[in-house]
Amino acid sequence: MRNYDFISKYETLLSPVIVALLSQIHEFRGEQAKLMGTKEDTLIQFVEIAKIQSTEASNKIEGIYTSDERLKKIVREKTMPKTRSEKEIAGYRDVLATIHESYDYIPLRPSVILQLHRDLYKYSGLSIGGRYKDSDNIIEETDAAGNKTVHFQPVPAWETSEAMDRLCAAHDEARRDPALDPLLLMPMFILDFLCIHPFNDGNGRMSRLLTLLLLYRAGYAVGRYISIEGLIETSKETYYEALQESSAGWHENANDYAPFARYMLGVVAAAYREFNDRAQLLTAPELSKPDRVREIIKGTLGKITKAEIMEKCPDIAQITVQRALSELVKSGEIIKISGGRYTSYTWNRERD
């Protein structure tokens, strides 16, 4: 039977790479604290953008889609969900909002995890919400030819309740040890949660919601402003590779948390880096709004769309962004790459 013991495994993870990531994130958190008091109205807009991106990305990973217009209306509670996908999107929206607003009062307990899962499915009409799986599940992949490959066999259904109790108890014990960084305990818990795979459906989405909960409760609030789920979605192949590598030998207590820990800490560091980049542009008094648009494009390797520019500086009106883009194209500083609604821009590095 699996032994959930974060304390004994913790020391084995303190490689130079992981220690460097932890130090980097600690430093970024300090920088974020300094920036939090400035441009409060724009930071609120960051939160609204991140909610939309997080809800879209986490569901997209699981193949749950709706149109961009419908997604925004659902997240902003301007319409009722119609399809099954939209009902699951609305459920994610609500659980995400609960974590955003009340994380201080949401302890990591099996009963709480069940309640969050219940709310994830509250619009769907399905009876699986808030209940552990009632049949064994497997994590498998089907290739283009229809051949199935089993990647992992999770804990059987009859062991799930006990496994979740022991997992949460082990994490709680580790959190009480002041020598252990809760930031590193986060990927350890999430990996074990995914290996247990406690639900018939929704395990991936729950793992990402629990990631945010663990980060917020440990004092790392970057996920409010930058979508952690979005960063995972854009690197999901690496995510699955790290998950598979770290789950090997899990049932025998012989797995290595390090690959998954490196990946998850890298995502958190990337989120902080993006937040600091955006916030520093907001607080640079010498930069006009057109200059900020210019610096965003210059600092982007490859292409960037107008929509992406506006996400990075939500306090700048669309007409101002469009005017700045037109002037930069005219001056030859940027190159316009036409593509209809997907028109993008890139910095003309031949001029540098």
For the chain, domains (ranges, CATH) are 6-281 (1.10.3290.10), 286-351 (1.10.10.10)
- Residue pair 205/34 in contact (Cβ under 8 Å)? The answer is no
Q: What angle do CA 125, 131, 132 make, to 5 degrees?
A: 135
Per-residue pLDDT 10s for the chain (352 aa) are 789 999 999 999 999 999 999 999 999 998 887 776 666 677 888 898 899 999 999 999 999 999 999 999 999 999 999 999 999 999 999 999 999 999 999 999 999 999 999 999 999 988 999 999 999 988 876 666 767 777 789 999 999 999 999 999 999 999 999 999 999 999 999 999 999 999 999 999 999 999 999 999 999 999 999 999 999 999 999 999 999 999 999 999 999 999 999 999 999 999 999 898 887 777 666 778 888 888 888 888 788 988 888 888 777 888 898 898 888 988 988 898 987 777 899 999 887 6
C-alpha span between 113 and 164 (Å, rounded): 9
Q: Quick check: helix, strand or coil at residue 94?
A: helix
Q: Quick check: helix, strand or coil at residue 150?
A: strand
Please give the model's pTM, rounded to 2 decimal places. 0.86
C-alpha span between 275 and 99 (Å, rounded): 20
C-alpha span between 61 and 244 (Å, rounded): 16
Eight-state DSSP code of residue 155: -
Virtual CA dihedral for 223, 229, 232, 233, nearest 10 degrees? -150
Contacts 24+ apart (CB under 8 A), 18-26: 18/184, 18/258, 18/261, 18/262, 18/265, 21/262, 21/265, 21/266, 21/269, 22/181, 22/183, 22/184, 22/265, 24/269, 24/272, 25/183, 25/220, 25/265, 25/268, 25/269, 25/272, 26/183
Q: Which amino acid is at 256?
A: D
Say how many C-beta atoms besides its own lie within 10 A of residue 98's C-beta.
Answer: 17
